[in-house]
Chain A
Amino acid sequence: MAAKKETRPKRVRKAPFIIILVFLIMGIVGIMTGEGSRVLEQAVQVCLSCIGIG
């Protein structure tokens, strides 16, 4: 069985890193505006909509 080489050149894809960086910055801006605490505040309360009675 002769080995067959893959013809596609191997190179690092940059797009995932750019996308991750953009969303990371977005998340950090969110934290800076205090959204993290707001999310925590909401997550520690029982969500009546989730339960189906709100």
Chain B
Amino acid sequence: MEIVRKWVQTITALLVNGSWSFPFTRTIYQGPLKVVCSPGLNCYSCPAATTYCPIGSLQQLIAGIRIALENGQNFFGLYVIGTMGVLGGAFGRLICGWVCPFGLVQELLYKIPSRKFNIPQKLNYLKYGFLVFFVILLPLAVVDDFGYGELWFCKYVCPTGTLEAGLPMLILQPALGQTIGLVFFNKLTILTGFIIWAILASRPFCRTTCPLGAFYALFRKFKLVKLRLIEENCTRCEACHSICPMGVKFNEAPEDAECISCLKCMTEACKFDAISLEIAGLAVGTQGGTKIMSPKRNNGAA
């Protein structure tokens, strides 16, 4: 299953970054596909990007809301929020586990041999702050003399933008180098910090900072596709705890906001068919098919 997931992650990363004419055009893809939403975090100013980034576009719409309304355009971000909500309602953070390019980047970095560290659970709440303040409130409230807000998350935080857009665009258009300043070096420092952190800990950006992950996490209880604990079969052996890349203790919190539905606990850890995948409440599979095994309580408890 892990191999299938890696393939899906790689193919999706290539699909949302599927325009490879930039070495010749020296700029980003500008075709009509960019009206399509990237399900995961993928900077739309990446030269190869073929889709729009929901977090970037949402900030753009919110930052320009006053001017749009003055011009009689009712742009409240409904198209972007609607698309994000359909994706979230259907899959929630399964998108993080299966199709987000930056999630894949972090997983690959974590494979680099080094001492590994846990991430304190309290830091998980930070990402909701980034969603509320940096994506919504600050772009809406802090405006210039013309009434335009800033893209606070893109400009001051997003390491994906620096990695996928900032650095490649500086190579493609060296003249941009004359305009870089503190903002760029701040973002470069943040990117470097996350790269080092991702080598030492599993998916630190997803767990502590990503506003898109925070948005999808809101659907944890009501998403269409989710994992379920079959309590009758759970032996509390806690094998699902140590395997989880997001620090979820699945049998204690089956609807944890951090679960990215990578299925590792179901397919690699649980030997008792206590975890099943369900669509709209109907089980579609457990580790050993759909049958329910008899539990061996306390057998192998940690």
Contacts and interface: CB of A to CB of B under 8 A. Distances in A.
B45 A51 contact: yes
A15 B85 contact: no
Contacts of B56: 43, 47, 50
B81 A16 contact: no
Given A47-B45, A49-B151, A50-B158, A16 B224 contact: yes
Interface residues of A, number: 46
B86 interface: yes
A49 B60 CA distance: 10
B74 interface: yes
Given A4-B233, A47-B165, A19 B222 contact: yes
A22 B78 contact: no
A46 B168 CA distance: 12
Contacts of A54: 151, 155, 183
B176 A35 contact: no
Interface in B128-177: 150-151, 154-155, 158, 161-162, 165-166, 169-170, 176
Residue from A22, A30, A33, A50 with most neighbouring chain B CB atoms (10 Å)? A50
A52 B162 contact: yes
Would you call the interface of chain A mostly helix, strand, loop, or mixed?
helix
Contact of A38 (B28, B61, B180): B61
Interface stretch (B103-111, B198-206, B275-283): B275-283
A47 B90 contact: no
A21 B115 CA distance: 46
Nearest to A16: B224
B12 interface: no
11 contacts: A4-B293, A12-B281, A19-B219, A26-B82, A30-B77, A35-B75, A39-B52, A47-B43, A50-B44, A52-B183, A54-B155
7 smallest beta-carbon distances between A and B, as pairs: A27-B82, A23-B85, A30-B79, A30-B78, A26-B82, A50-B161, A35-B79
